[in-house]
Structure 1
Amino acid sequence: MKNEVGHEIADALAILLRRTTRTQLHKQLTEGMGEGVDEQTYPVLSELARTGPRSAADLAPDVGIDRSGVTRRASRLEAAGLIRREADPTDRRAHLLVLTDQGRLAVEELRTRLAAHITTSLSTWPPNEAETFAHHLGRFTSEGPFT
Protein backbone atom coordinates (compact mmCIF):
# COMPACT_ATOMS: atom_id res chain seq x y z
CA MET A 1 0.00 0.00 0.00
CA LYS A 2 2.75 2.49 0.91
CA ASN A 3 4.49 1.88 -2.41
CA GLU A 4 1.21 2.68 -4.21
CA VAL A 5 1.06 6.04 -2.42
CA GLY A 6 4.64 6.70 -3.50
CA HIS A 7 3.72 6.00 -7.12
CA GLU A 8 0.64 8.19 -6.89
CA ILE A 9 2.66 11.08 -5.50
CA ALA A 10 5.44 10.54 -8.06
CA ASP A 11 2.90 10.67 -10.90
CA ALA A 12 1.38 13.90 -9.54
CA LEU A 13 4.83 15.46 -9.11
CA ALA A 14 5.76 14.51 -12.66
CA ILE A 15 2.86 16.60 -13.92
CA LEU A 16 3.66 19.54 -11.61
CA LEU A 17 7.35 19.53 -12.47
CA ARG A 18 6.88 19.20 -16.22
CA ARG A 19 8.35 22.20 -18.01
CA THR A 20 5.21 22.70 -20.10
CA THR A 21 3.07 22.80 -16.93
CA ARG A 22 5.32 25.44 -15.36
CA THR A 23 5.51 27.48 -18.57
CA GLN A 24 1.72 27.48 -18.96
CA LEU A 25 1.26 28.60 -15.34
CA HIS A 26 3.93 31.30 -15.67
CA LYS A 27 2.28 32.55 -18.85
CA GLN A 28 -1.07 32.90 -17.06
CA LEU A 29 0.48 34.64 -14.06
CA THR A 30 2.51 37.14 -16.07
CA GLU A 31 -0.22 38.16 -18.51
CA GLY A 32 -0.49 41.95 -18.53
CA MET A 33 2.44 42.44 -16.13
CA GLY A 34 4.18 44.77 -18.53
CA GLU A 35 7.57 45.06 -20.11
CA GLY A 36 10.08 42.37 -19.29
CA VAL A 37 7.82 40.06 -17.26
CA ASP A 38 6.75 36.91 -19.06
CA GLU A 39 6.90 33.14 -18.72
CA GLN A 40 10.62 33.15 -19.57
CA THR A 41 11.73 35.84 -17.13
CA TYR A 42 9.36 34.82 -14.32
CA PRO A 43 11.66 32.07 -12.93
CA VAL A 44 14.64 34.46 -12.72
CA LEU A 45 12.60 37.17 -11.03
CA SER A 46 10.96 34.72 -8.62
CA GLU A 47 14.21 32.99 -7.64
CA LEU A 48 15.96 36.31 -7.00
CA ALA A 49 13.09 37.28 -4.70
CA ARG A 50 13.39 33.98 -2.87
CA THR A 51 17.18 33.91 -2.49
CA GLY A 52 18.45 37.47 -2.79
CA PRO A 53 21.23 38.79 -5.03
CA ARG A 54 23.07 36.14 -7.04
CA SER A 55 25.24 35.85 -10.10
CA ALA A 56 23.79 34.47 -13.33
CA ALA A 57 26.03 31.42 -13.01
CA ASP A 58 24.86 30.75 -9.46
CA LEU A 59 21.21 31.26 -10.37
CA ALA A 60 21.23 29.08 -13.49
CA PRO A 61 20.90 25.62 -11.89
CA ASP A 62 18.01 26.74 -9.70
CA VAL A 63 15.97 28.14 -12.61
CA GLY A 64 16.82 25.25 -14.93
CA ILE A 65 18.60 27.13 -17.71
CA ASP A 66 22.24 27.80 -18.47
CA ARG A 67 24.15 30.92 -17.45
CA SER A 68 23.78 32.56 -20.85
CA GLY A 69 20.01 32.01 -20.72
CA VAL A 70 19.86 33.65 -17.29
CA THR A 71 21.98 36.53 -18.60
CA ARG A 72 19.61 37.10 -21.55
CA ARG A 73 16.57 37.06 -19.30
CA ALA A 74 18.31 39.30 -16.77
CA SER A 75 19.05 41.81 -19.53
CA ARG A 76 15.34 42.00 -20.34
CA LEU A 77 14.48 42.43 -16.66
CA GLU A 78 17.15 45.09 -16.29
CA ALA A 79 15.85 47.00 -19.33
CA ALA A 80 12.40 46.94 -17.71
CA GLY A 81 13.83 48.34 -14.46
CA LEU A 82 13.06 45.22 -12.42
CA ILE A 83 16.63 44.22 -11.60
CA ARG A 84 20.03 45.87 -11.61
CA ARG A 85 23.54 44.51 -11.76
CA GLU A 86 25.98 45.23 -8.95
CA ALA A 87 29.63 44.33 -8.60
CA ASP A 88 30.12 41.13 -6.63
CA PRO A 89 32.06 42.10 -3.50
CA THR A 90 33.68 38.64 -3.38
CA ASP A 91 34.71 38.55 -7.07
CA ARG A 92 35.55 41.79 -8.88
CA ARG A 93 35.06 40.10 -12.26
CA ALA A 94 31.48 39.05 -11.52
CA HIS A 95 28.17 40.86 -11.12
CA LEU A 96 25.20 40.10 -8.92
CA LEU A 97 21.62 40.36 -10.12
CA VAL A 98 19.60 42.40 -7.61
CA LEU A 99 15.87 43.14 -7.51
CA THR A 100 14.93 46.80 -7.68
CA ASP A 101 12.00 48.23 -5.74
CA GLN A 102 9.96 47.95 -8.93
CA GLY A 103 11.07 44.31 -9.22
CA ARG A 104 9.96 43.58 -5.65
CA LEU A 105 6.55 45.09 -6.40
CA ALA A 106 6.27 42.93 -9.51
CA VAL A 107 7.10 39.82 -7.48
CA GLU A 108 4.50 40.76 -4.85
CA GLU A 109 1.89 41.05 -7.61
CA LEU A 110 2.96 37.72 -9.12
CA ARG A 111 2.77 35.99 -5.74
CA THR A 112 -0.67 37.50 -5.12
CA ARG A 113 -1.80 36.20 -8.50
CA LEU A 114 -0.36 32.75 -7.80
CA ALA A 115 -2.05 32.56 -4.39
CA ALA A 116 -5.37 33.60 -5.94
CA HIS A 117 -4.95 31.02 -8.72
CA ILE A 118 -4.29 28.28 -6.17
CA THR A 119 -7.16 29.40 -3.94
CA THR A 120 -9.53 29.37 -6.91
CA SER A 121 -8.43 25.88 -7.92
CA LEU A 122 -9.10 24.63 -4.38
CA SER A 123 -12.44 26.47 -4.02
CA THR A 124 -14.49 23.31 -4.50
CA TRP A 125 -12.60 21.46 -1.76
CA PRO A 126 -13.98 21.42 1.75
CA PRO A 127 -11.98 24.06 3.73
CA ASN A 128 -10.48 21.53 6.11
CA GLU A 129 -9.18 19.44 3.18
CA ALA A 130 -7.47 22.42 1.56
CA GLU A 131 -5.87 23.42 4.87
CA THR A 132 -4.75 19.85 5.54
CA PHE A 133 -3.31 19.59 2.03
CA ALA A 134 -1.39 22.86 2.49
CA HIS A 135 0.01 21.66 5.80
CA HIS A 136 1.07 18.26 4.46
CA LEU A 137 2.52 19.70 1.25
CA GLY A 138 4.66 22.05 3.31
CA ARG A 139 5.77 19.17 5.47
CA PHE A 140 6.52 17.01 2.43
CA THR A 141 8.72 19.67 0.86
CA SER A 142 10.61 20.29 4.10
CA GLU A 143 10.97 16.68 5.23
CA GLY A 144 10.57 14.71 2.01
CA PRO A 145 13.00 13.51 -0.62
CA PHE A 146 13.94 17.06 -1.71
CA THR A 147 15.89 17.98 1.41
Structure 2
Amino acid sequence: MSKTTRDSTSAARVAAAIGALTMRATRAGLYSRLTSGVAGVDATTYPVLSGLDRVGPVTATRLAEAIGMDRTVTTRYATRLQEAGLIARRPDPSDARATQLVLTADGERTVAALRAGMESFLAEELATWPPGEAAAFADRLERLTEALAHPDAGRTA
Protein backbone atom coordinates (compact mmCIF):
# COMPACT_ATOMS: atom_id res chain seq x y z
CA MET A 1 0.00 0.00 0.00
CA SER A 2 1.42 3.40 -0.96
CA LYS A 3 1.96 6.15 1.62
CA THR A 4 -0.75 8.29 -0.07
CA THR A 5 -3.29 5.45 0.12
CA ARG A 6 -2.33 4.69 3.72
CA ASP A 7 -2.64 8.40 4.69
CA SER A 8 -5.97 8.70 2.89
CA THR A 9 -7.22 5.59 4.64
CA SER A 10 -6.03 6.94 8.00
CA ALA A 11 -7.68 10.28 7.29
CA ALA A 12 -10.93 8.53 6.37
CA ARG A 13 -10.78 6.44 9.55
CA VAL A 14 -10.13 9.50 11.72
CA ALA A 15 -12.93 11.41 9.97
CA ALA A 16 -15.32 8.52 10.58
CA ALA A 17 -14.28 8.26 14.23
CA ILE A 18 -14.71 12.01 14.78
CA GLY A 19 -18.11 11.79 13.09
CA ALA A 20 -19.15 8.96 15.41
CA LEU A 21 -17.75 10.75 18.46
CA THR A 22 -19.68 13.93 17.72
CA MET A 23 -22.98 12.20 17.00
CA ARG A 24 -25.69 13.08 19.48
CA ALA A 25 -26.25 9.46 20.52
CA THR A 26 -22.56 8.97 21.32
CA ARG A 27 -22.38 12.19 23.32
CA ALA A 28 -25.64 11.41 25.13
CA GLY A 29 -24.33 7.98 26.08
CA LEU A 30 -21.12 9.45 27.46
CA TYR A 31 -22.96 12.22 29.30
CA SER A 32 -25.42 9.72 30.79
CA ARG A 33 -22.53 7.59 32.03
CA LEU A 34 -20.77 10.60 33.55
CA THR A 35 -23.83 12.11 35.21
CA SER A 36 -25.30 8.90 36.61
CA GLY A 37 -25.92 9.53 40.30
CA VAL A 38 -24.80 13.18 40.15
CA ALA A 39 -27.37 15.44 41.79
CA GLY A 40 -28.79 18.25 39.67
CA VAL A 41 -27.19 17.36 36.35
CA ASP A 42 -28.11 14.90 33.63
CA ALA A 43 -27.16 14.15 30.04
CA THR A 44 -29.12 17.14 28.73
CA THR A 45 -27.77 19.73 31.17
CA TYR A 46 -24.19 18.41 31.21
CA PRO A 47 -23.06 20.37 28.10
CA VAL A 48 -24.30 23.62 29.65
CA LEU A 49 -22.53 23.00 32.96
CA SER A 50 -19.33 21.76 31.33
CA GLY A 51 -19.33 24.55 28.75
CA LEU A 52 -19.87 27.18 31.41
CA ASP A 53 -16.85 25.84 33.27
CA ARG A 54 -14.76 26.15 30.11
CA VAL A 55 -15.89 29.61 28.91
CA GLY A 56 -17.75 31.31 31.77
CA PRO A 57 -18.80 33.56 33.29
CA VAL A 58 -20.74 34.36 30.15
CA THR A 59 -24.19 35.25 28.86
CA ALA A 60 -26.51 32.44 27.81
CA THR A 61 -26.21 33.65 24.20
CA ARG A 62 -22.41 33.40 24.23
CA LEU A 63 -22.54 30.05 26.01
CA ALA A 64 -25.00 28.71 23.45
CA GLU A 65 -22.63 29.76 20.66
CA ALA A 66 -19.66 28.13 22.40
CA ILE A 67 -21.38 24.79 23.01
CA GLY A 68 -23.34 24.68 19.75
CA MET A 69 -26.75 24.67 21.34
CA ASP A 70 -29.80 26.82 20.69
CA ARG A 71 -29.98 29.84 23.03
CA THR A 72 -33.48 29.04 24.26
CA VAL A 73 -32.49 25.47 25.09
CA THR A 74 -29.33 26.70 26.80
CA THR A 75 -31.39 29.13 28.86
CA ARG A 76 -33.89 26.41 29.82
CA TYR A 77 -31.12 24.03 30.92
CA ALA A 78 -29.34 26.87 32.74
CA THR A 79 -32.54 27.45 34.70
CA ARG A 80 -32.62 23.78 35.71
CA LEU A 81 -28.98 24.01 36.81
CA GLN A 82 -29.74 27.20 38.72
CA GLU A 83 -32.64 25.50 40.50
CA ALA A 84 -30.21 22.72 41.47
CA GLY A 85 -27.84 25.32 42.92
CA LEU A 86 -25.07 24.62 40.41
CA ILE A 87 -25.10 27.93 38.56
CA ALA A 88 -26.19 31.48 39.33
CA ARG A 89 -27.14 34.50 37.28
CA ARG A 90 -25.54 37.88 37.94
CA PRO A 91 -25.58 41.23 36.15
CA ASP A 92 -23.24 41.43 33.17
CA PRO A 93 -20.65 44.11 34.02
CA SER A 94 -20.35 45.09 30.35
CA ASP A 95 -24.09 45.27 29.56
CA ALA A 96 -26.61 46.39 32.20
CA ARG A 97 -29.44 44.73 30.24
CA ALA A 98 -27.83 41.29 30.26
CA THR A 99 -27.02 38.64 32.85
CA GLN A 100 -24.09 36.29 33.04
CA LEU A 101 -24.18 32.66 34.02
CA VAL A 102 -21.58 31.66 36.62
CA LEU A 103 -20.79 28.45 38.43
CA THR A 104 -21.59 28.35 42.12
CA ALA A 105 -19.22 26.65 44.57
CA ASP A 106 -21.44 23.54 44.32
CA GLY A 107 -21.26 23.83 40.54
CA GLU A 108 -17.47 23.97 40.63
CA ARG A 109 -17.35 20.87 42.86
CA THR A 110 -19.78 19.07 40.56
CA VAL A 111 -17.74 19.91 37.47
CA ALA A 112 -14.58 18.71 39.23
CA ALA A 113 -16.32 15.42 40.07
CA LEU A 114 -17.57 15.04 36.49
CA ARG A 115 -14.10 15.73 35.08
CA ALA A 116 -12.62 13.18 37.50
CA GLY A 117 -15.23 10.68 36.34
CA MET A 118 -14.31 11.31 32.71
CA GLU A 119 -10.62 10.90 33.48
CA SER A 120 -11.29 7.69 35.40
CA PHE A 121 -13.38 6.27 32.57
CA LEU A 122 -10.68 7.09 30.03
CA ALA A 123 -7.89 5.81 32.29
CA GLU A 124 -9.65 2.46 32.57
CA GLU A 125 -10.03 2.22 28.81
CA LEU A 126 -6.52 3.41 28.00
CA ALA A 127 -5.00 1.02 30.55
CA THR A 128 -5.88 -1.81 28.16
CA TRP A 129 -3.75 -0.29 25.38
CA PRO A 130 -0.13 -1.32 24.73
CA PRO A 131 2.52 0.69 26.63
CA GLY A 132 3.19 4.10 25.08
CA GLU A 133 0.19 3.97 22.80
CA ALA A 134 -2.07 6.03 25.08
CA ALA A 135 0.56 8.77 25.48
CA ALA A 136 1.12 8.87 21.71
CA PHE A 137 -2.64 9.02 21.15
CA ALA A 138 -2.97 11.89 23.65
CA ASP A 139 -0.16 13.81 21.91
CA ARG A 140 -1.74 13.37 18.50
CA LEU A 141 -5.26 14.13 19.71
CA GLU A 142 -4.04 17.37 21.31
CA ARG A 143 -2.32 18.30 18.03
CA LEU A 144 -5.46 17.51 16.00
CA THR A 145 -7.68 19.43 18.42
CA GLU A 146 -5.37 22.45 18.18
CA ALA A 147 -5.44 22.27 14.37
CA LEU A 148 -9.24 22.10 14.39
CA ALA A 149 -9.55 25.02 16.82
CA HIS A 150 -6.98 27.17 15.01
CA PRO A 151 -6.92 26.04 11.37
CA ASP A 152 -4.48 28.74 10.20
CA ALA A 153 -1.96 28.40 13.03
CA GLY A 154 1.35 26.97 11.96
CA ARG A 155 0.41 26.89 8.30
CA THR A 156 2.48 28.70 5.74
CA ALA A 157 1.40 29.75 2.27
TM-score where L is the length of structure 1: 0.94
- After TM superposition, list the pairs within 5 Å mapping 1:101-140 onto structure 2: 101-140=105-144
Q: Pairwise CA RMSD of aligned residues? A: 1.0
Which segments of structure 1 move beyond 3 Å, counting only runs of 4 or more? none
Shift of 1:124: 1.2
SS in 1 for 2:148: coil
CA distance in 2, matches of 1:145, 1:71: 27
Unaligned runs of 5+ in 2: 151-157
**Alignment partner of 1:68 is 2:37:** no
CA distance in 1, matches of 2:57, 2:148: 27
Letter in 2 for 1:43: P
The superposition leaves residues 10-67 of structure 1 with CA deviations (integer Å, 9 ceiling, x where unpaired) of 0110111111100110001000001x20001100110111112011111112222211
Shift of 1:95: 0.4
CA distance in 1, matches of 2:66, 2:29: 19
**Alignment partner of 1:32 is 2:6:** no
Aligned residue for 2:60?
56
SS in 1 for 2:78: helix
Percentage of matched positions with identical amino acids: 44
Letter in 2 for 1:123: A
Aligned residue for 2:22?
17
CA distance in 2, matches of 1:91, 1:11: 42
Larger radius of gyration: 2
**Alignment partner of 1:77 is 2:85:** no
SS in 1 for 2:101: strand
- Is contact 2:55–2:63 with CA below 8 Å preserved after alignment? no
Letter in 1 for 2:108: R
CA distance in 1, matches of 2:108, 2:52: 10
Unaligned runs of 5+ in 1: none
**Alignment partner of 1:145 is 2:153:** no
CA distance in 1, matches of 2:148, 2:69: 23
Aligned residue for 1:94?
98
Shift of 1:99: 0.3
Letter in 1 for 2:29: Q
Shift of 1:86: 0.5
CA distance in 1, matches of 2:99, 2:149: 29
